[in-house]
Structure 1
Amino acid sequence: MTNQLTPPQYTLPVIIFAQFTGTSLWFAGNAVLPDLQMAYGLPGGALGGLTSAVQLGFIAGTLLYAILMLADRFSPSRVFLFSAMLGALFNLGIGVVTEGYASILALRFLTGLFLAGIYPVGMKIAADWYAADLGKALGYLVGALVLGTAFPHLLRFTAAEVPWQRVMQGTSFLAVMGGLLIWWLIPDGPYLRSGTAFKPAAIFAIFRIPDFRAAALGYFGHMWELYAFWAFVPVILLARFPELLPASTALVAFGVIGMGALGCILGGYWSLRTGSAKVAYAMLLISGLLCLASPLLFQLPGWAFTALLFLWGFAVVGDSPQFSTLVARNAPPESRGSALTIVNSIGFAVTIFSIQGLTFLSQYWGISSSLWILFLGPALGLTATRRLFRLA
Structure 2
Amino acid sequence: MSEKQKSLFILVLCEVMTLALWFSASATIPDLRQEFALSDTQASLFTSMVSVGFVCGTLLSAIFGLADRLEPHRFFMGAALLGAAFNAAILLVDPSTPVVLIFRFLTGAIMAGVYPVGMKMAASWAEKDMGLLVGTLVGALTLGSAMPHLFNALGGLDWRVTIISASASACFAALLINLVKTGPKFGKSPRFQPNFIFHAWRDKPLRFANFGYIGHMWELYAMWGWIGVFLLASFKVTEVENAGFWANVSTFIVVGSGAIGCLAGGWLADRIGRTALTMSAMAISGTCALGVGLLFGASPVLLMIVCVIWGISIIADSAQFSSCVMELSDPDHIGTMVTMQTCTGFLLTLSSIHLVPVWVEVVGWQWAFAPLAIGPFFGVWAMGRLRMMNEAVKIAHGKR
Q: TM-score, normalised by structure 2?
A: 0.86
Measured after TM superposition, the shift of residue 202 of structure 1 is: 4.5
- The match for 1:228 is 222
Q: Label 1:65 to 1:206 Cα distance change in 2 as closer, same or farther (>3 A).
A: closer
Q: Label 1:363 to 1:90 Cα distance change in 2 as closer, same or farther (>3 A).
A: farther
User: 2:156 and 2:46 mapped to 1: Cα distance?
Assistant: 24
Q: Compute the RMSD of aligned alpha carbons.
A: 2.7
Q: Label 1:93 to 1:254 Cα distance change in 2 as closer, same or farther (>3 A).
A: farther
- 2:63–2:196 CA contact under 8 A, matched in 1: no
Give CA-to-partner distance per residue, 1:32-83, whole Å, 9 cap, x none.
Answer: 3233233333332456434431111111111233344444454312222222
User: 1:77 and 1:332 mapped to 2: Cα distance?
Assistant: 21
Work out which of the residue numbers 172, 184, 187 in structure 2 matches 1:177.
172
- The match for 1:163 is 158
Measured after TM superposition, the shift of residue 316 of structure 1 is: 1.0
- The match for 1:11 is 7
Structure 2 residues not aligned, in runs of 5+ = 393-399
Measured after TM superposition, the shift of residue 376 of structure 1 is: 2.1
Aligned to 2:113, what secondary structure does the other structure show? Answer: coil
Correspondence 1:280 to 2:278: yes
Measured after TM superposition, the shift of residue 338 of structure 1 is: 4.4
- The match for 2:32 is 36
Measured after TM superposition, the shift of residue 368 of structure 1 is: 4.5
Measured after TM superposition, the shift of residue 332 of structure 1 is: 5.7
Correspondence 1:383 to 2:381: yes
Normalized per residue, the structure richer in helix is 2
Q: Label 1:199 to 1:75 Cα distance change in 2 as closer, same or farther (>3 A).
A: closer
User: 1:170 and 1:366 mapped to 2: Cα distance?
Assistant: 39
- 2:67–2:339 CA contact under 8 A, matched in 1: no
Q: Label 1:173 to 1:362 Cα distance change in 2 as closer, same or farther (>3 A).
A: farther
User: 2:302 and 2:91 mapped to 1: Cα distance?
Assistant: 39
Give CA-to-partner distance per residue, 1:74-112, whole Å, 9 cap, x none.
Answer: 431222222222223333344542342523322221121
Q: Which sits farther off after the overlay, 144-153 or 111-120?
A: 144-153
User: 1:174 and 1:182 mapped to 2: Cα distance?
Assistant: 12
Q: Which amino acid aligns with 1:386?
A: G
Measured after TM superposition, the shift of residue 365 of structure 1 is: 5.2
**Matched ranges for 1:129-278 at <5 A:** 129-158=125-154, 160=155, 162-183=157-178, 185-196=179-190, 199-204=193-198, 206-242=200-236, 243-244=241-242, 246-278=244-276
- 1:31–1:250 CA contact under 8 A, matched in 2: no
- The match for 1:79 is 75
Q: Label 1:312 to 1:271 Cα distance change in 2 as closer, same or farther (>3 A).
A: same
User: 2:37 and 2:364 mapped to 1: Cα distance?
Assistant: 22
- 2:4–2:125 CA contact under 8 A, matched in 1: no
- The match for 1:3 is none
Give CA-to-partner distance per residue, 1:114-159, whole Å, 9 cap, x none.
Answer: 211111111122223444433321111111121122223333444x
- 2:151–2:157 CA contact under 8 A, matched in 1: no
- The match for 1:92 is 88
Measured after TM superposition, the shift of residue 235 of structure 1 is: 1.2
Structure 1 residues not aligned, in runs of 5+ = 1-5
- 2:120–2:335 CA contact under 8 A, matched in 1: no
Q: Label 1:330 to 1:174 Cα distance change in 2 as closer, same or farther (>3 A).
A: same
User: 2:287 and 2:184 mapped to 1: Cα distance?
Assistant: 43
Q: Label 1:364 to 1:176 Cα distance change in 2 as closer, same or farther (>3 A).
A: farther
Q: Which amino acid aligns with 2:106?
A: L
- 1:30–1:231 CA contact under 8 A, matched in 2: no
Aligned residues: 385
User: 2:306 and 2:382 mapped to 1: Cα distance?
Assistant: 26
Q: Label 1:47 to 1:318 Cα distance change in 2 as closer, same or farther (>3 A).
A: farther
Q: Label 1:338 to 1:15 Cα distance change in 2 as closer, same or farther (>3 A).
A: closer
- The match for 1:349 is 347
Measured after TM superposition, the shift of residue 271 of structure 1 is: 1.0
Work out which of the residue numbers 16, 19, 22 in structure 2 matches 1:23.
19
- 2:27–2:149 CA contact under 8 A, matched in 1: yes
- The match for 2:395 is none
Q: After TM superposition, where is structure 1 displaced by more than 6 Å over at least 4 residues in a row?
A: none
